[in-house]
Amino acid sequence: MVSNGEETRKSSCGRYNSALVQVILIGLVCFCCPGMFNALSGMGGGGQVNHTASNNSLTALYTTFAIFGILGGAIYNILGPHLTLLAGCSTYVLYTSSLLYYNHHHHQAFAIVAGALLGVGAGLLWAAQGAIITSYPPTNRKGTYISIFWTIFNMGGVIGGLIPFILNYHRSEAASVNDGTYIGFMCFMSVGTLLSFAILPPCKVVRDDGTRCTNMLYSNVSTECVELLKLFFNWKVLLMLPAAWSSNFFYPYQFNDVNGALFNLRTRGFNSVFYWGAQMVGSVGIGYVMDFSFERRRVRGLVGVVLVAVLGTVIWAGGLANQLRYSSNDLPQKLDFRDSGSHFAGPFILYFSFGLLDAMFQSLVYWVIGALADDSQILSRYSGFFKGMQSAGAAVAWQVDEHKVSFMSQLIVNWGLTTISYPLLFVLVMLGVKDQGQ
């Protein structure tokens, strides 16, 4: 005979209102929208030969993202998931269409305005996403559910990387990507916008044990304003700040100054497939550590921080060894994926490792956020603050790259920022994560 608990677990896998199904659905939404956006930006310069329009649009994007990332949790608590996600997803299509327009007219104003609007939308989408993946899963499986989300989401980057690789296989290095590349991205993003209607509010989601995520659906403006101000004085949130700031700060360096500087057009698309594929591997690996490595939840958190810190140090050291070979004033001949020997293999493995570390670092932070509370409204504010600060760092980083700061200086700053975050995350896990509810 099958016990009631086993029956509940089996039936939950197919229930539309189960936490697992909802996490998979938000993963598919992010597969289509930010996943495709990641593939697009990962090519360096948004697929354009001249990176100026892309860098300026991304600066506008992350500036508004920083504001609406922080506000996003409050907006999500007021509007609920449907309106929040619909508003967020639709801006991805607009942004990609601006790059299609730029392909023909080379006027960057549209791209900058679209980037600013995408920052608003991305702030809303990621606040909703953060609330869902940190509050919907059961307490003892948050790492697993986060890794499931991250795997599906980054499959978007893998598929998205294949689009420019296939469609631009025979194009010259002096050309931007073709129109079909942008149109392909826009089709996926449109599907993601429609999928956002499938996400249920937390009060309708039932976990395997029969509990609901929260009994509250809507908040109000005055409550959210007060709670938002409290975040700036919350010691838990402040300890997350360096990790948040640094976790997207390295993208301009990795995308433009490694992938864009060292590889030709088609190989950048090829590399993107493996960069985002590495993220899938990294998220699964850290998810296992955070849920199954040790019995006590706090110990799992501490081990996760140490593991990511050691791996991060090794990978950035490899980045330093690679960077000593070239500079912005002395670029080597562009590499092609068909090149034999270590000339291609070394930089390729490094770029793959950057993707691996990115997923492990961000999945670790999301696990820590999810371990600080269980209520959807609280976690939406924490997640929103994290994405806001993350985007503020990215806005600065894209302008650092646009102002031609040396590659070596960018590497050292990136390595230093991530290194500072590890001991603070260690303290946050030690003091803020409880072993109850394992």
All residue ranges of the chain with pLDDT < 70 are 1-14, 42-51, 168, 171-177, 214-219, 436-438
The pLDDT value recorded for residue 42 is 67
The pLDDT value recorded for residue 105 is 82
Encoded amino acid at 33, one letter? C
Global pTM reads 0.81
The pLDDT value recorded for residue 225 is 85
- Is residue 438 situated within a structural domain? no
The pLDDT value recorded for residue 2 is 41
Domain residues for 134? Answer: 4-432
> Comparing C-alpha atoms, which of 99, 93, 92 is closest to residue 47?
99
Ordered DSSP codes for 164-183: HHHHTTT--TTSPPPHHHHH
Domains in the chain: how many in total?
1
- In three-state form (DSSP H/G/I as H, E/B as E, the rest C), the secondary structure along 223-244 is HHHHHHHHHCCCHHHHHHHHHH
- Is residue 190 situated within a structural domain? yes
- Is residue 236 situated within a structural domain? yes
pLDDT one-digit tens code per residue, 212-270: 776 555 567 788 888 888 999 999 999 999 999 999 899 999 988 999 899 987 888 88
Hey, what are 47's tokens? 């697929």
User: What are the CA-CA distances from residue 68 to residues 79, 115, 250, 397, 432 (Å)?
Assistant: 14, 13, 21, 18, 26
- Around Cβ 17, how many Cβ atoms within 10 Å? 13
The pLDDT value recorded for residue 46 is 55
- Is residue 437 situated within a structural domain? no
pLDDT one-digit tens code per residue, 121-157: 999 999 899 888 888 888 888 889 999 999 999 898 8
Cβ 35 vs Cβ 28: under 8 Å: no
> Comparing C-alpha atoms, which of 406, 366, 332 is closest to residue 144?
366
- Is residue 22 situated within a structural domain? yes
The pLDDT value recorded for residue 399 is 84
Domain containing residue 238: CATH number: 1.20.1250.20
Tell me the backbone φ, ψ of residue 327, rounded to 5 degrees.
-145, 175
> Comparing C-alpha atoms, which of 102, 121, 123 is closest to residue 56?
102
The pLDDT value recorded for residue 160 is 79
pLDDT one-digit tens code per residue, 37-57: 988 876 655 555 456 777 788
> Comparing C-alpha atoms, which of 366, 263, 241 is closest to residue 322?
263
Inter-helix orientation angle 235-246/342-372, to 10°: 160
Cα–Cα distance between 135 and 8 in angstroms, integer?
20
- Is residue 278 situated within a structural domain? yes
- Is residue 425 situated within a structural domain? yes
Cα–Cα distance between 37 and 118 in angstroms, integer?
10
> Comparing C-alpha atoms, which of 396, 414, 379 is closest to residue 142?
379
Cα–Cα distance between 422 and 413 in angstroms, integer?
15
The pLDDT value recorded for residue 89 is 95
Hey, what are 62's tokens? 């992350």
> Comparing C-alpha atoms, which of 418, 355, 329, 399 is closest to residue 55?
399
- Is residue 26 situated within a structural domain? yes
The pLDDT value recorded for residue 299 is 94
Cα–Cα distance between 153 and 160 in angstroms, integer?
11
